[in-house]
Amino acid sequence: AQSVTQLDSQVPVFEEAPVELRCNYSSSVSVYLFWYVQYPNQGLQLLLKYLSGSTLVKGINGFEAEFNKSQTSFHLRKPSVHISDTAEYFCAVTPYNQGGKLIFGQGTELSVKP
């Protein structure tokens, strides 16, 4: 079985400050890794995904994430956040052998203050 743990339920940060949202996963098989973002009253949209190759993945809106296999982590970072980044962020995994079955973490609410 797989599980995803997002270590912070809420992260408040000031505008233009850097931010890191932490994600750890547990799986007995190899997985693909994803970060999705949910803006208020909207569905989720993909920020970035790690499938293979370089462990540093760049996504939309200036976000990036680094896959660390030994630590089973996939932390999301942005060097300078904007008010518009205020949203809920979800880390998710899909096992190699289970089609598109996404397993989500509980989410991290990022609140960017002026």
Residues that bind other proteins (CB under 8 A): 32, 36, 41-46, 49, 51, 90, 94-107
Beta carbon of residue 27, minimum distance to other proteins (angstroms, whole number): 12
Judged by CB, which is closer to other proteins: 15, or 27?
A: 27
* 47, 63 contact by CB (below 8 A): yes
Give Cβ neighbours of residue 45 (< 8 Å, ≥ 6 apart).
36, 37, 38
Shortest Cβ 113–other proteins spacing (Å): 23
The residue (of 99 and 114) whose beta carbon lies closer to other proteins is 99
Q: How large is the C-alpha radius of gyration of the chain?
A: 14
